[in-house]
Structure 1
Amino acid sequence: MPGQTKRVLILGHGAMGRAFEGLLGPRHEITVWDRDLATGVETQPLELAAQDRDVVLFALPTNPHDELAGRLAPCLDADTVCLSIAKGLDEHGRTPAQIFEQHLGTRLRWALLYGPMLARELQAGQAGFALAASRQPGVDVVLRALFDGTALHLDYGDDVQGAAWAAILKNVYVPLIGAVDALALGDNMRGFLIAEATRELAAILQHMGGRPETAYTCAGLGDLTTSATSASSHHRRIGAELSAGRTEQLAATGVNIRSEGVHTLAMVRAHHLFEPDRFALFGLVCRFLEQPARLEADLRSYVDRRFAH
């Protein structure tokens, strides 16, 4: 119920972990668990940290979800809610929803939280917005009590697969918008491509077992627009750098490698999740990342085909 203090375990203490610690700390009891990536040393044993927690927030990338959810599943209380904000695929091509489904199933309660909620804005006390997706009864009650009175505002839905794929795949389109802006192709082109990306995202969600309308929620369109237009978006910066021919600089900094969108494309191909060229704009982004110099010609061809009579 609103106003009730929750015992929260935050996994990961990067930008988002710290943002949620600041967001929830004034009203809830917070414990942070983290692990040194170089040594593997944990701040405390995970299984001990998870005891008697009401909420476990996975504020870290998708790759560790499999290990951590597997370790947590036997020791969590049935009333605990596991919550993920990860927006990527793991090395087996799985979403956080699929990993939670495998380890937590229906015995434990879990949800996904996706939308425009940049860490720096949450830390500054500015508003954030997200879709909380869960198929299990009572999770919405816990999350309302958790975020009541904070700057993060939630919608609720039960399309967990659609929410996961929307949040993950939207990152694929963001470098394209960054490139279009860097090439000064116009505000009209940006608006058109965001609309096209959202329409295509809806078709991919349906293909992947989600609902197409989820593409138009905070998990899809809301997050896509924020990532595509934010000056701090590294996904957007990748597109701008590639359009300027600065591929060596990207390789040197490792930004391209760390990009969830670029990694998602690699996983889609490696695990044959779907055929990229089945979706025209998705296929265009694939070609752009491989041959950036072709972008303007490819965009002209896309627009010509799109409006051919």
Structure 2
Amino acid sequence: MPNMTDHFDPDMSALAPHGHAPLRCAAVLGAGAWGTALAGALQRGGVPTWVWARRPGVAEAIHRRNHHPHCLPGIDLPSGLGATSDMAHALYGAQLVILAVPSAATRDIARQAVRLMTPGAMVLTASKGIEQGTGALMTQVLDEELGKTMLTGSIGGPSFADEVARGNSTLLTLAMPALARTHPRHRDAQRMASGLMQQLAAAGITLELTSDTIGAQVGGALKNMIAIACGMATAQGMGENARAGIITRGLDDMRRLTQAMGGRIETLLGSSGAGDLFLTAASGQSRNTRLGMRLGRPGGGAHGEAGELAEGAVSVMSVQILEREFGLRLNVAAAVRDVLQQRVAAGPALQQLLHASTPNTLPFVPRPPRFRATKPATGRAGEAARPVAEPRSVGYA
């Protein structure tokens, strides 16, 4: 087996700042723009990293010439970043594995990789989608395919790949159930996450940590659908007010689905929720926004110039499984589906989204009556009479 630390700093055994041991080897499965950018950031942060590319020519260009032949034009990748089309080679000894493949491919790649992974590795999904046919979030797919020996989670947030590849400042969310203090592997997860946080900081990436993988992934998946709707509104010339209204409807979709699945609403206020939504829905660089702009023009189609379908167009169909399971109607998802399936034109679909009565939006939650004591109570009897404060249901950490 080849030496996976060739060309890497020999002093990596030294402790990282604050005493956290650095990650000694990482692998990124998927050599698209996002996977390559993440791999480059890990390498710049001092994590010896290999990229697995499906096509040997892509692996050769990254490994030998420090550039991607199709993505990230004009960007030099860090020296020492390894790339290969041999998955076993890429995964050998990796303490951290990131799957940066489309949601539709995540299960198959995880199934191929599990027998090659180091037991106890931290395995993260960088995909922002919902699985077709099952409605599973990507961490659920990982758990089903990898078993209980791996620390699974997700990484995402507002991040254009080219800016991450250049080292521009970026805020991401690392979500892992094992970060919860009650999890039996909390110490392992905290140690590895803290080491990764410190190493990525050297590459311009700040990590928020949360144990709420549901909120983090619902935000990442639904923001793509919202961006498609915002792109349609732009193409229709509906104005900024309409775009803001679409985002408002979309945030409520995020809130209701997150709550229904057992996630925390406060997670949606972090980088993987509101932050990612702002970037994706406000910029023409977003593939999903560009898809919406095509759909909003007369005769526009769903596929881009390269024949690729944006992740949001896949998830907007897959999320129907979750809508049925939890008895929800996600308003933005429904509008985008109608347009994608050519049931309704973009203009009428958006007007319906913005102006129809939506009783599920921001329901009134009555507050309990404020306790008024007629006489100051003291001692244990007084303590028993005091009302117990209800925990907040809203609250990325």
Per the normalisation by structure 1, the TM-score is 0.85
- Structure 1 match to 2:231: 178
Which residue among 1, 18, 23 is the counterpart of 2:41? 23
Which residue identity does 1:301 align to in structure 2? H
Of 332, 348, 355, 1:301 maps to 355
AA partner of residue 244 (structure 2): G
- Seen in structure 2, the aligned counterparts of structure 1 residues 251 and 101 have a Cα distance that, compared at 3 Å, is closer
- Tell me, in whole angstroms, the C-alpha distance in 1 between the residues paired with 2:319 and 2:245: 25
Identity %: 23
CA deviation after TM superposition for structure 1 residue 299, in Å: 4.3
Whole-Å separation in 1 of the counterparts to 2:229 and 2:95: 40
Match of 1:215 among 268, 278, 282: 268
Q: Alignment partner for residue 311 of structure 2, among 260, 271, 288?
A: 260
Structure with bigger helix share is: 1
Structure 1 contact 78–109 (Cα < 8 Å) conserved: no
Q: Distance in 2 between matches of 1:10 and 1:251?
A: 27
Q: What amino acid maps onto 2:127 in structure 1?
A: A
For residue 187 of structure 1, report the CA deviation from its aligned partner: 2.1
2:392 aligns with none
Over the aligned positions, Cα root-mean-square deviation in angstroms equals 2.8
Q: Secondary structure in 2 aligned to 1:273?
A: helix
The structure-2 alpha-carbon separation of the partners of 1:278 and 1:17, relative to structure 1 and needing over 3 Å to count, comes to closer
Q: 1:300 to 1:123 in 2, by over 3 A?
A: closer
How far the C-alpha of 1:182 sits from its partner, in A, is: 2.6
1:279 to 317, 330, 354: 330
* 2:120 and 2:149 in contact (8 A); partners too: no
* Structure number with bigger Rg: 2
CA gap of 1:71–1:284, structure 2 versus 1, over 3 A, is closer
> In the aligned structure 2, how far is the partner of 1:64 from the partner of 1:146?
28
Match of 1:143 among 193, 196, 200: 196
How far is the alpha carbon of 1:240 from its aligned partner?
A: 1.6
Aligned CA distance change for structure 1 residues 234 and 246 (closer, same or farther; 3 Å)? farther
The one-letter code of the counterpart of 1:184 is: G
Secondary structure of the residue aligned to 2:172 is strand
The answer to whether structure 1 residue 64 and structure 2 residue 113 are counterparts is no
- d(CA) in 2 for partners of 1:63 and 1:242? 22
- Between the aligned partners of 2:357 and 2:163, the Cα distance in structure 1 is 35
Which amino acid is 2:40 matched to? G
How many Å separate the matches in 2 of 1:132 and 1:221?
15
* Distance (whole Å) between structure 2 residues aligned to residue 66 and residue 213 of structure 1: 29
1:10 paired to 2:52: no
Q: Distance in 2 between matches of 1:251 and 1:144?
A: 37
Q: CA deviation at 1:11?
A: 1.0
Amino acid corresponding to residue 160 of structure 1 in structure 2 = T
Going from structure 1 to structure 2, the CA distance change for 1:187 and 1:106 (only over 3 Å counts) comes to same
Match of 2:171 in 1: 129
Equivalent pair of 2:31/2:100 in contact (CA under 8 Å): yes
Could you state the TM-score of these two structures normalised by the residue count of structure 2? 0.68
Is the alpha carbon distance of 1:154 and 1:294 closer, same or farther for their aligned partners in structure 2, counting shifts above 3 Å?
Answer: same
Query: What is the alpha-carbon distance in structure 2 between the residues aligned to residue 142 and residue 25 of structure 1?
Result: 14
Query: What 5-or-longer segments of structure 2 have no aligned partner?
Result: 1-14, 57-82, 179-185, 363-397
